[in-house]
Amino acid sequence: MIRIQADALRRVIADIFHRAGSNESEAAAVARRLVDANLVGHDSHGVVRIPTYLEMVRSGGVQPNQHAKIVLDTAVFVVVDGQSGFGQVIGEEAMKMGIEKAQRSGVGVVALRHSSHLGRIGDWTEQCAEAGFASVHFVNVVGAGAIVAPFGGADARISTNPFSAGLPRPDGKHIILDMATSKLAEGKVKVALNKGVELPEGALIDAKGKPTRDPAELYATPRGALTSMGEHKGYGIAVFCEFLAGILSGGGTNRTERREGIVLNNMLSIILNPAMAGDRTYVAEEADAFIKWLLDSPPQEPGKPVLLPGDPERQNRAERLRDGIPLDDTTWNNIVVAAESLGMDGKATRAQAKPGN
């Protein structure tokens, strides 16, 4: 393991993407979002993705320096095409459009299609919350192939289709729910495979549809499949990610074939003025009182208090900003190799990190 400070890691990653063809502001945006995913503890959506992202640049799966293009624009509704641009730029631009509508009309609905990987979806919920708006986001995945079985099905037909929702709070401690609709994120299966450990009961089926705890079954030929979180209920949300994000945006569903080097996200976002009924004070006070009501529940296990969605990420951010971001040796080596392949000084890059745990 190594530890590296967020600022230093951001500089390395921005340099990599700038050399790979992104202009300075795009390279900085990609670096900021990837490092942020590590900061909040979602390592599966952070800098571990550098090799895949660079491969997508090389194969044309992601197009550097694109911007969100308006396809249809009404008072409250905007359809946006991401033109296979970096999700870190396209996502932010699309949310700005929705926030402007919500500022004018109280509601902004954004149907975003054909963005390259949007990363951690909570980023977009946080952007809305920072601007003072509540929001919900449904996301589907196209191109990367199916990886999750429909409830009761024996093979993969959908993806880990994330869902996110947020409520802004005046103290900046926004409530942010951000989750895959599969029981496990794919990144966690890879980690288990690398460590040689079994998966929890019920998270995976093999290619015959039988439950298995062996992570290798997900990558076997023919492939196994992840299962939905919450059985039929998580599956139901994932289906609506396909309907709302995939079909309503025009971006398509996961029915499409796996295409090497392509990961496209479609996202339907509904952005709302939290004081729609007109009384901001009531919203703030009742939210505070309800949160207190929840957190006052006595813990089942001593020392493990009830948390709110977004709390684990906030705790991770504080800790990792202080102690540096932990990266396993393989992930860090892959970053240094990528940096060297683009003409950066490998020794100077390595010197940014220190041994960690």
Q: Is 45 in the site for ligand NAD (CB under 6 A)?
A: yes
Restricting to residues 285-314, which ones interact with ligand NAD according to CB under 6 A? 307-310, 312-313
The gap from C-alpha 323 to its chain's centroid, in whole angstroms, comes to: 23
137: contact with ligand NAD by CB under 6 A: no
271 three-class SS: strand
**Angle between helical axes of 87-105 and 122-130 (0-180°, round to 10):** 40
Instruction: Determine how β-strand 2-4 pairs with β-strand 325-327.
Output: antiparallel
Q: Which stretch binds ligand NAD (CB under 6 A): 17-25, 174-182, 239-247, 249-257?
A: 174-182
CA angle 236, 148, 200 (to 5 degrees): 100
Min separation Cβ 277 and ligand NAD, Å? 26
How far apart (Å, rounded) are the C-alpha atoms in residues 150 and 10?
38
174 interacts with ligand NAD by CB under 6 A: no
**CB 134, CB 272: distance < 8 Å:** yes
Q: Is 54 in the site for ligand NAD (CB under 6 A)?
A: no
Number of residues that bind ligand NAD (CB under 6 A): 25
The DSSP line for 177-226 is: EEE-SBSS-HHHHHHHHHHT-PPPTTSEE-TTS-EE--GGGGGSSS--EE
135 is a contact residue toward ligand NAD (CB under 6 A): no
The yes or no reply on residue 113 touching ligand NAD (CB under 6 A) is no
Q: Annotate each residue in 152-171 with x if it binds ligand NAD (CB under 6 A) or - if it does not, as one string.
A: --------x-x---------
Does 102 contact ligand NAD by CB under 6 A?
no
Helices (H) and strands (E) in the chain, counts: 11, 13
Q: Does 237 bind ligand NAD (CB under 6 A)?
A: no
Eight-class DSSP state of 149: P
Comparing CB distances to ligand NAD, the nearer of 275 and 308 is: 308
Nearest approach, Cβ of residue 313 and ligand NAD (Å):
5
Instruction: Indicate which single residue of 18, 33, 101, 117 sits in contact with ligand NAD (rule: CB under 6 A).
Output: 117
| Identity of the residue, 162 or 324, whose beta carbon is nearer to ligand NAD in the bound complex | 162
Surface-to-core class of residue 81, CB atoms within 10 Å of its CB (0-12 exposed, 13-18 middle, 19+ buried) = buried
- Specify the residue, 9 or 176, whose C-beta has the smaller distance to ligand NAD: 176
**Footprint of ligand NAD on this chain (CB under 6 A)?**
42, 45, 117-122, 139, 141, 160, 162, 176-180, 185, 265, 307-310, 312-313
